[in-house]
A and B are shown apart, each in its own frame.
Chain A
Amino acid sequence: MTTDALDDHRPSRSAPTRGFGRKFGVHAVMVVLSFVSIFPIYWMIVTSLRPENETFSTALWPSHPTFDNYLFVLTRVPMLQMLFNTTLVSAATALLQVVTGMFAAYALVRWRMRLSSVVHGLIALSWLVPFQVTMIPNYVLASRIGLLDTLTGLVVPNAAHAFAILLLYHAMRAFPTEVLEAARMDGARSFRILWQIVTPNMGAPIASLSIIAFISAWNEYFWPLLLSRKPENSVVQIGLQMFMTQEGNLWGPLMAAAALASLPILLIYLVLQRHVIESFMKSGIR
C-alpha cells in the first residue's frame, strides 16, 4: 500500500455528483474529527498564555497574553537543560538506529545465509516483547554497568530496533541486485558498496526512519522514568511528569510545561508535515 493515493487530488472516477446534503455531511464529520484532534492542543497553548488571574477563563483567546507561566516553569524545573538532553538523546537514538539498521539490512539483502530466516525471525519477534516484561533485568543490567542516571543509558538500549531494521531491509530489497553485482565484479569491497552505492540511494527511507525514531525517542517515557534520578540528567517527559506531581493544579504553568515538552515536535511537524505524515503512514504504527 502506498500513500500516493492519498495525495491523488483528482476526484475518484467512480464518484457520481452528489447532493449538497451529503457533501455537507462529509465536511461536518471531518470538521468534528479535526476539532477533537486539535482543540486539546489549542487549549493547552491558550491556557499557558493566560495570566494567573485568568486561568479559569473560558475565553477562546487570553485578553492579555503573557509568558509568565513559561518563566515560572523555567525557574522550577531545569526545563532548558532537559530540552537539550532530550534533543541529544533523540538525535543519537535516531542516528544509531539508522546505522545499526543499515548494517543489518545490508547483511540480510546482500548475503544468502543458511540462517537468514532465523535471524530475520529473531529480529521481527523482538518487536513483540513488551518493555514491561524485560524491564527488571534491563534495570538491573543498567545499574550494574553504571548507566543509571546517564544519557548514554537512555540511548543504548534503543540503539537497535526491529522496526528500523525491517524498514530499511524492505527499502533495500528493492535495490537492483545487478548494480551490486557490477560493483562487486569491479572489486569494490562490501563496505564501499554499502557506503558509496547503497546509502546514497536510500535517502527517503533513511529520512523516514530518522523522523519516526526521533519522534518516538522524544516521546519515550518509561525507560527514562526507571533510569533517571536527577532532573538535570533527565528528559522533558520526566520533567513534565515531575512538574505535574509537584504543582499539579497550577494549570497555567502545567500547560506551559506541556507546551515546552511538545514544542520541538510540533515545530518539526509544521515544517516537515507532509514527510512526517507519510513516514508514519508508510511504516505503520510504532
Chain B
Amino acid sequence: MTDIQAEVAGPALTKKAAERSKMTREGFTISPWLYLAPALILLMIWTYIPLAETFRLSFYQWNMLPTSPQRFVGLLNYQRLLALPEMRNALWNTLCYTIGLFPMSVIIPLFVAIWTQDLGGRARTIYRSMIFVPMIIAPVVAAVLWRWLLNEDQGLVTLALDSLGLGRVGFLTDPLYALPTLTWITGWKLIGFSTLLFSAANAGINPSYIEAARIDGASRWRIICDIRLPLLSPTILLLSMMTVLFGAQWSFAYINVLTNGGPLKSTTNIFYLLWEYGFQTLSAGWSSAAGMIAFAGFAVLAAMCMWLTKRFAFYDN
C-alpha cells in the first residue's frame, strides 16, 4: 500500500522503481503506446488540457456564456483576488479545516491503535467492521445524517445537550460553530479508517524489537516513543500528507450541501470559493485565477510533504 501512495507523491520516486523492474530492452515499438493510449488520452482530455485551459482563462475575463467574448486582462484577476478579503478569509478557513482535521485523521487514531493493540479475536473483527462504515457512506448522506442529528430544534444531539442543561447550539447556523461542525463531519468519515490503518501498521511491527527493549528494561511509554512511533512514521506521514493535500477537498461536499459557505462566509474554503466564482457568479476568470493559486499552493505543499517523507519516514527493512 505504501508503495502506491509513494508513487503518487511524485515521479521522483518512480525512477528507482522503473530501474528495478526487470523488463526486456527493445527498440521503439508502437505497441506500448497503443496500450497506453486509452488512459493517456483520457487523462489528457479531462485533466491536463483543462488544467492548461484554466491557466489560460485565469488571464481573461469571461462570464462563461459561449456567445460572449473572452477579454484578455493580464494579471488583473490575480491582483483583484489577492486584494479581496474574501480570498484571505477562504485561505484562512482552508488552514482551519486542515488543522482541525488532524486530531481525527491522525492523532486520535494513532493513539487508539496503540492503546488497543492487544485486542484480539472476535471483538476485533466486530469493532473493525463497525468503525469502517463511515468511510463508505456517501458525503451527501453523511451531510444529511448530521444535519438531522444536529438540528437546532429536534436533533438528538441538541436534545441531549439541552437535557444536560448546556443549552442549544446553532451547530450550522452560528458562525463560531459552523466550521468546527463541518470539520467534525469530515473527520467522522475518516477516524475509523485511519484507526484501522494504524492498527495494521502497528500489528506489523516485528515483536522482537519490543521484546528486546523490554528486556533492556524500557517502560511502556519509552517503547511507544522510541520504537513504535518511528516504525509507524511512514503511516503517520502518509495520513498527514493525505490530510494536508485532500482535507479541504473532502470538506467541500459538506460546505456545499449544508452551509453554502455561510453563515457570514465562516465556512467558505478555497475550493468552495472557486465553485462560487465559477458557477454562482459566473466569473470564469476569477475562478480560474483562484484555482491556479490553489493548485500552485497545493503543489508546493505536496513537494514539501514528499521531501518530509523521504527525510523522516523510517522504514524497517
A interface residue numbers (CB < 8 A to B): 1-3, 5-6, 8-15, 18, 25-27, 29-31, 33-34, 36-38, 40-41, 43-44, 47, 55-56, 58, 99-101, 103-104, 106-113, 116-138, 140-141, 143-144, 156-157, 159-160, 162-163, 165-167, 170, 173, 177, 181, 190, 194, 215, 218-219, 221-222, 225-226, 237, 240-241, 244, 251, 254-255, 257-258, 261-262, 265-266, 269, 273, 276-277, 280-285
Contact = CB atoms under 8 A, between A and B. Distances in A.
A38 B130 contact: yes
List 5 tightest A-B contacts by C-beta distance, closest first.
Answer: A121-B11, A107-B35, A5-B203, A137-B50, A134-B50
Given A33-B191, A221-B140, A134 B38 contact: no
B187 to A, nearest CB: 10
B4 A167 contact: yes
Given A126-B48, A237-B138, A261-B138, 11 more contacts: A5-B203, A31-B127, A37-B130, A103-B38, A117-B15, A124-B11, A162-B8, A219-B136, A262-B137, A276-B136, A277-B129
Interface in B105-155: 112, 115-121, 123-124, 126-142, 144-149, 151, 154
5 contacts: A6-B200, A8-B203, A116-B18, A118-B11, A262-B138
Contact of A30 (B116, B149, B204, B298): B116
Contacts of A261: 138, 140-141
B245 interface: yes
Contact of A129 (B147, B203, B287, B295): B295
B38 A104 contact: yes
B257 interface: yes
A133 B54 contact: yes
Interface in B10-40: 10-11, 14-15, 17-18, 21-26, 28-29, 31-40
Given A12-B118, A107-B33, A130-B271, A117 B140 contact: no
Contacts of B40: 104, 119, 122-123
Contacts, number: 349
Task: State which size class the interface on B falls in.
Answer: 35 or more
B38 A265 contact: no
Contacts of B2: 1
Nearest to B272: A132
A170 B31 contact: no
Given A44-B148, A284-B5, A1 B39 contact: no
A137 B49 contact: yes
B224 interface: no
Contacts of A177: 22-23
B7 to A, nearest CB: 5
Contact of B43 (A2, A111, A162, A226): A162
| B interface, over-half SS | helix
B102 interface: no
Contacts of B124: 6, 9
Contacts of A118: 11
B76 interface: no
B71 interface: no
A121 B16 CA distance: 12
Contacts of B197: 281, 284
A123 B135 contact: no
| A interface, over-half SS | helix
A222 B252 CA distance: 9
A157 to B, nearest CB: 4
A102 B129 CA distance: 30
Contacts of B4: 163, 166-167, 170, 283-284
B60 to A, nearest CB: 11
B38 A240 contact: no
A109 to B, nearest CB: 7
Contacts of A144: 66
A106 B140 CA distance: 36
B188 interface: yes
A26 B148 CA distance: 30
